[in-house]
């Protein structure tokens, strides 16, 4: 489940169920992804934290907070089901190493207290074109992830890309299902991704029930996030 929990450091952030953070597992069919795609050379000059949507720009049902830098790496692992230090099979589906420095990754998260669903905006600098991510996801529909003795299966399905004024865009559905545990530990996610130069913009709706995702809120926040990066 998603809840707002105060850490020992004194800030409040949405925290994903410990069982999910502890480990995940899945199996991914397919062939290795080609590395022949060009790298991104153009850069957005503004610092990433300044490009995040303000908490007031989140949909009203999702009061938001900008994550402190020390919380960003853990939150990123929640979104792809593959936290740092996890064993991933097939190994070709391990995502590229991500830099979580202050101007390399930034996040803001809003949580609906009634449903415990969350909306997360992640901005990350990368020299990888979005086409590389699309190709990797297409080959990694099912991945087994193991961490700290717990295993989950991460299922990913590509959707039609969203219409957006960006260099490229991707949409995906993702489910993280523990091999042991109740239905309430299953993460369901819808993610919209766009790229502008070296900044990748990901907006994710996450829930722990079978209800319909709040696509209107997701679409609105995604448009806001892309526009803010584009306008600098």
What's the 3-state SS for the chain?
CEEEEECCCCCEEEEECHHHHHCCCCCCCCCCCCCCCCCCCCCCCCCHHHHCCCHHHCCCCCCEEECCHHHHHHHHHHHHCCCCCCEEECHHHCCCCCCCCCCCEEEEEEECCCCCCEEEEEEEECCCCHHHHHHHHHHCCEEEEEECCEEEEEEEEEECCCCCCCCEEEEEEEEEEECCCCHHHCEEEEEEEEEECCEEEEEEEEECCCCCCCHHHHHHHHHHHHHHHHHC
Above pLDDT 70, what percent of the chain? 82
pLDDT of residue 44: 94
Q: Quick check: 62 and 111 in contact, CB under 8 A?
A: yes
pLDDT band, residue 3 (cuts 50/70/90) = very low
Locate the domains of the chain by residue range. Answer: 2-231
How does pLDDT run across 174-217, given as a tens digit for each residue? 999 998 766 668 899 999 999 999 999 999 999 998 789 999 99
pLDDT of residue 5: 34
pLDDT at 141 over 60: yes
pLDDT band, residue 162 (cuts 50/70/90) = very high
pLDDT at 24 over 70: no
* CATH placement of domain 2-231: 3.40.1000.70
Mean pLDDT is lowest, of 13-27, 61-75, 85-99, 198-212, for 13-27
pLDDT band, residue 8 (cuts 50/70/90) = very low
Q: Quick check: 221 and 119 in contact, CB under 8 A?
A: yes
pLDDT band, residue 171 (cuts 50/70/90) = very high
pLDDT of residue 183: 60
pLDDT at 17 over 60: no
pLDDT of residue 110: 98
pTM of this prediction? 0.82
What is the mean predicted confidence (pLDDT) over 63-78? 92
């Amino acid at each position: 489940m998603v809840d707002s929990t105060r850490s020992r450091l004194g800030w409040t952030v949405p925290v994903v169920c410990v069982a999910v953070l502890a480990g995940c597992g899945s199996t991914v069919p397919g062939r290795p992804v080609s590395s022949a795609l060009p790298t991104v050379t153009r850069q957005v000059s503004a610092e990433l934290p300044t490009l995040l949507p303000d908490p007031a720009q989140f949909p009203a049902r999702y009061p938001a907070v900008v994550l402190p830098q020390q919380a960003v790496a853990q939150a990123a692992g929640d979104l792809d089901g593959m936290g740092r230090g996890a064993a991933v099979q097939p190994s070709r589906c391990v995502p590229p190493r991500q830099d979580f420095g202050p101007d390399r990754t930034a996040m803001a998260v809003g949580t609906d207290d009634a449903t415990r669903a969350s909306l997360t905006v992640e901005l990350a600098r990368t020299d990888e074109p979005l086409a590389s991510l699309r190709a990797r996801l297409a080959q990694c529909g099912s991945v087994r992830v193991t961490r700290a003795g717990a295993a989950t299966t991460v299922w990913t399905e590509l959707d039609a890309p969203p219409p957006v004024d960006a260099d490229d865009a991707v949409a995906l559905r993702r489910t993280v299902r523990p091999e042991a545990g109740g239905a309430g530990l299953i993460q369901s996610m819808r993610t919209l991704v766009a790229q502008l130069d070296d900044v990748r913009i990901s907006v994710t709706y996450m829930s722990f029930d079978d209800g319909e995702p709040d696509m209107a809120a997701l679409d609105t926040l995604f448009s806001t996030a892309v526009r803010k990066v584009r306008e600098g």
